[in-house]
């Protein structure tokens, strides 16, 4: 009976503050929709950055005096390094063939000999594809006997690292600002509900009603606002991704594929924001009522 009454009072409070409740729900939905969209963009961008990072290769050029036995030993040492994902040997003949494919010239015909040294193409594990880790690996490779010089796209790694950090910071700041705005609106709506029912609350306290019995309906009201806003945001987000996938070519449609967990988190965040907003309003009411 108590639970049914508390839930009924929570819903009734929203009806009495219909305009404020509607504003809160719309604010939550818009905030969560924007957070969801930016999260998707950030996830896809981060995935793209990681895939480009994984394509960045080290090339360790060998000295001309290195013997086949030494080459095998060097490859074994490189493969044993924690940072290394794969190692591929490129012979002088392979290097000449790659040169011809990329530049359209047969270097052997131009110079009458092949000046390109053999090398190892080294691909790093994802967690080591950062500028600092790459420099550490370069120093370790340079210390190996038989390696003449090391080459890799340092500037590209630094660019990707800076962009990844920028996206993370912007996502965090935007999420905090939008969430704070939603919590503020919900808190104001709950305060209106408390103000409208202040006489009823005083009566309940006089007859000995427990604090949780008095405050829980407002807490439920805030969570219902958050739930409604979260569901609305998830529906809108789904509709936008379907529309976006239909507007682009099939090859780009994968960009609009959103994991189910994103929709679940959108609704969950809505409930959490509703709970936080109502908690802030109820705590404010507690301080005032005890003053």
Which pLDDT value is given to residue 203? 62
Give percent above pLDDT 90 in the chain: 2
Confidence of residue 135 (pLDDT cuts 50, 70, 90): confident
The enclosing H or E element of 46 equals helix 18-55
Q: With a cut of 70, say whether residue 103 has pLDDT above it.
A: no
Q: What structural domains and CATH numbers belong to the chain?
A: 2-51+160-290 (no CATH), 57-152 (3.30.70.3040)
Mean pLDDT of the chain: 75
* Full DSSP string of 84-111: EEEEEEE-HHHHHHHHHHHHS--HHHHH
Q: What are the φ/ψ torsions at residue 104 (nearest 5 degrees)?
A: 75, 15
Minimal CA–CA distance to 254: which of 55, 95, 44?
Answer: 44
The radius of gyration of the chain's CA atoms, rounded to the nearest angstrom, is 31
More confident site: 73 or 127: 73
Q: With a cut of 60, say whether residue 241 has pLDDT above it.
A: yes
Mean pLDDT of 38-48: 76
Taking the C-alpha atoms of residue 69 and residue 49, their distance in angstroms, rounded to an integer, is 38
Q: With a cut of 70, say whether residue 159 has pLDDT above it.
A: yes
Q: With a cut of 60, say whether residue 247 has pLDDT above it.
A: yes
Taking the C-alpha atoms of residue 37 and residue 43, their distance in angstroms, rounded to an integer, is 10
Q: Which of 193-207, 224-238, 275-289 ranks highest by mean pLDDT?
A: 224-238
Confidence of residue 231 (pLDDT cuts 50, 70, 90): very high
Q: With a cut of 70, say whether residue 59 has pLDDT above it.
A: yes
* 62 contacts 147 by C-beta, under 8 angstroms: yes
Which pLDDT value is given to residue 140? 87
How far is CA 214 from its chain centroid?
40
Which pLDDT value is given to residue 235? 92
Taking the C-alpha atoms of residue 54 and residue 23, their distance in angstroms, rounded to an integer, is 46
Taking the C-alpha atoms of residue 231 and residue 192, their distance in angstroms, rounded to an integer, is 24
């Amino acid at each position: 009976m108590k639970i049914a009454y508390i839930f009924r009072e929570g819903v009734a409070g929203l009806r009495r503050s219909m305009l404020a409740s509607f504003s809160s729900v719309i604010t939550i939905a818009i905030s969560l929709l924007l957070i969801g969209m930016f999260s998707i963009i950030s996830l896809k961008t981060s995935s793209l950055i990681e895939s480009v990072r994984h394509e960045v290769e080290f090339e360790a050029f060998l000295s001309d005096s290195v013997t086949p036995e030494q080459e095998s030993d060097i490859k074994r040492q490189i493969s044993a390094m924690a940072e290394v994902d794969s190692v591929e040997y490129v012979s002088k003949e392979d290097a000449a063939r790659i040169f011809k494919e990329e530049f359209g010239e047969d270097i052997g015909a131009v110079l009458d000999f092949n000046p390109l040294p053999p090398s190892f193409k080294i691909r790093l594990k994802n967690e080591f594809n950062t500028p600092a880790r790459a420099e550490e690996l370069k120093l370790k490779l340079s210390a190996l006997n038989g390696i003449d010089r090391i080459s890799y796209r340092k500037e590209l790694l630094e660019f990707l690292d800076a962009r990844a950090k920028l996206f993370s910071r912007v996502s965090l700041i935007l999420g905090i600002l939008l969430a704070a705005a939603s919590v503020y609106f919900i808190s104001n709506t709950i305060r209106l509900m408390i103000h409208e029912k202040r006489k009823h609350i005083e009566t309940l306290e006089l007859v000995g009603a427990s604090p949780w019995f008095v405050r829980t309906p407002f807490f439920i009201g805030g969570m219902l606002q958050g739930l409604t806003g979260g569901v609305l945001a998830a529906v809108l987000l789904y509709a936008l991704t379907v529309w976006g996938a239909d507007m682009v070519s099939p090859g780009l449609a994968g960009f609009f594929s959103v994991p189910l967990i994103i929709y679940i988190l959108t609704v969950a965040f809505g409930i959490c924001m509703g709970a936080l907003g109502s908690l802030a309003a109820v705590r404010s009411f507690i301080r005032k009522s005890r003053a």
